[in-house]
Amino acid sequence: MRVDGGRAGPRRVVLLTVALSLVATACVGPALRDDDYRRKAVASLEQVAATVAGVKIALDASIDDRSFPTATAVNVRRHEDTVAWAHTAFATRQPPPGTDRIRAAVVPVLAEASSIMADVRIAANRTDREELREQRRRLDELTGRLERVLGEVRG
């Protein structure tokens, strides 16, 4: 029996709101037109590029001893999840006819980003500065590829 008269407390309301917003953002409909698909490709690439930029900042702080290793590892893990979600959300989208070139350019670089982020997470958990420096270099190279593909997709 509930003492509060059956009303949900503020904490429960916040948790429910967060859960519903996460579900809503995860529901992606099909791209029915070329321009819709192109916009979704650009949005996915921009999301991953921004996420990679955030990880680079976290790695710089860790390499320079300006953050706790655990904080870096947690930060990287969250960013890895974001990249994996962006990759999966775009890769599983049904492309409309005539957009195979966009898909062929975008999906591989998103998959590569997801793979590199897993390597970054492993390095962050091991707290090996030399390995973090190597992963930071790989992220710089990935940023260049993301920007190149973004330019191609935008036309």
What pLDDT score does 26 carry? 47
Residue 33: pLDDT band with limits 50, 70, 90 = confident
Cα 105 to its chain centre, rounded Å, is 17
Architecture of domain 31-154: Up-down Bundle (1.20)
Q: Which residue has the tokens 């791209």?
A: 31
Which pTM does this prediction carry?
Answer: 0.78
pLDDT at 75 over 50: yes
Cα 141 to its chain centre, rounded Å, is 17
d(CA 26, CA 106): 19
pLDDT at 13 over 50: no
Average pLDDT over residues 113-119: 98
Residue 104: pLDDT band with limits 50, 70, 90 = very high
What pLDDT score does 83 carry? 98
What tokens were used for 120?
Answer: 């970054």
d(CA 142, CA 112): 8
111 or 9: whose pLDDT is higher?
A: 111
